[in-house]
Amino acid sequence: MNKSLMLAVIATMALAGTAHAQGITVDQAWARATSPSQTVGGVFLTITDKGTPDTLVSASSPIADMLELHETVADNGVMKMRPIAGLPVAAGQSVVLKPGSYHLMAMGLKQPLTPGYQFPVTLNFAKAGAVTVTGIVASAGASGPEPMSLEHLKNAPMPMDHGSMDHMDHSGMSMPKP
Ligand SMILES: [Cu+2]
């Protein structure tokens, strides 16, 4: 591959991490790594609305049976997660989905999430419609997308995690729910 083509590929990959639709921008998508016994995992990202007020109504990803919209609330001093029907995004504002706050809960993971693994996640907005971005897996205890992971994203124009790809073949396997 010649150098200019390589640069073009890298530029394309860098753009893949961000998606726009009708004033909605989604970026910084990431997930926490999971152990092989885990069937649920957290997916996080940042939504910025430069258009009219909108609402995130649902999300999906091939990594899991379904993605639920969750919020984290304090109930008698105990932090609990619960599903919400929609997440409003005000015009001119950003909403950060992060651990301990709003997040997407991947239910029924089809394979363990290993650091560096990249996955598509599609968000459905009431007005802007579907927005798909590429997320990357950070370490299990990460509180944000890790520089190491983002470097990996930049330096790996082609999917290199063949081990994880092979696991996709087992996606027909049923997994026990927690
Ligand atoms: Cu949750």
Distance 3 CA to ligand 1 centre (A): 43
- In the chain, the largest separation of any two C-alpha atoms, in whole Å, equals 61
Distance 71 CA to ligand 1 centre (A): 7
Calculated CA dihedral for residues 115, 120, 125, 129, nearest 10 degrees: 160
Q: Which two tokens stand for residue 90?
A: 């005000």
Q: What does the DSSP 8-state code read for residue 22?
A: T
The reply to whether CATH 2.60.40.10 applies to domain 16-158 is no
Distance 69 CA to ligand 1 centre (A): 7
How far apart are alpha carbons 37 and 113 in whole angstroms? 11
Q: For residue 85, what are the contacts with CB-CB under 8 A and spacing of at least 6? A: 57, 69
Distance 41 CA to ligand 1 centre (A): 8
Angle value at C-alpha 119, between 118 and 124, nearest 5 degrees: 145
Distance 121 CA to ligand 1 centre (A): 16
Distance 101 CA to ligand 1 centre (A): 9
Q: Which two tokens stand for residue 119?
A: 């996955």
Question: Residue 139's closest CA among 117, 111, 168?
Answer: 117
Query: Has this prediction a pTM greater than 0.95?
Result: no
Distance 105 CA to ligand 1 centre (A): 5
**Residues β-bridged to residue 178:** none
The tens place of each residue's pLDDT in the chain, 178 residues long, gives: 566 665 555 555 444 567 777 799 999 999 999 999 999 999 999 999 999 999 999 999 999 999 999 999 998 989 999 999 999 999 999 999 999 999 999 999 999 999 999 999 999 999 999 999 999 999 998 988 876 555 555 544 444 444 444 443 343 344 444 5
Distances (CA, A) of 49 to 54, 70, 91, 98: 8, 20, 5, 17
Distance 142 CA to ligand 1 centre (A): 15
Domain extents in the chain: 16-158
